Amino acid sequence: MAARSIVKMGTPSLFEKSRPWPADKFDSPELHALLADMKDSMIAANGAGLAAPQIGENVRVVIFEVDNNSRYPKREPIPFTVLINPLLLPASDEKVDDWEGCLSVPGMRGLVPRYPKLRYTGFDQSGAAIDRTVDGFHARVVQHEVDHLDGVLYPMRITDMTKFGYTEILFPNLVGDDDN
């Protein structure tokens, strides 16, 4: 498989709600090919996660992982996860602001409110159920990626637009572009 181009903000398909992955297509050659392309694309872009719509496939499939990523040296590791047809259940109404970027919005960052702890459910590539409760950066990454499945990009969640701009202006000492 191969890394695909990342779809950029402004492309109409990024604002569409993705269709569920069919239950009879788990563990299929079609799914394995999509996941291989997604993983290659995420690695090539040095991302923490990727949603299928970001490579032009509007299906409810996301992947994420943080392990010795130079762009996230102070973030806790997140195991490689394939999450299909996810549901998110926040632990409370509390939200916490933190900086985010996105491979589909390159070179920019914004302060985004997210739930600090949540439970997520869904399925892996073989159709096995996933049910995890997570917090911190892991919770933020899952919310960011699942937003893509609903046609939501992180700038749409920013509540103070003075906290949105080019990474090089907001963080002149940051090495590299810290996008999700």
CA triplet 51, 151, 47: central angle to 5 degrees? Answer: 30
At 178 the pLDDT is: 46
Give the model confidence (pLDDT) of 21-44 as tens digits: 999 999 999 999 999 999 999 999
Instruction: Share the mean pLDDT of the chain.
Output: 94
Residues annotated as part of the active site: 145
At 33 the pLDDT is: 98
Domains of the chain: 12-170 (3.90.45.10)
Asked whether 1 and 38 are in contact (CB, 8 A), the reply is no
The residues of the chain scoring below 70 in pLDDT are 1, 69-73, 175-180
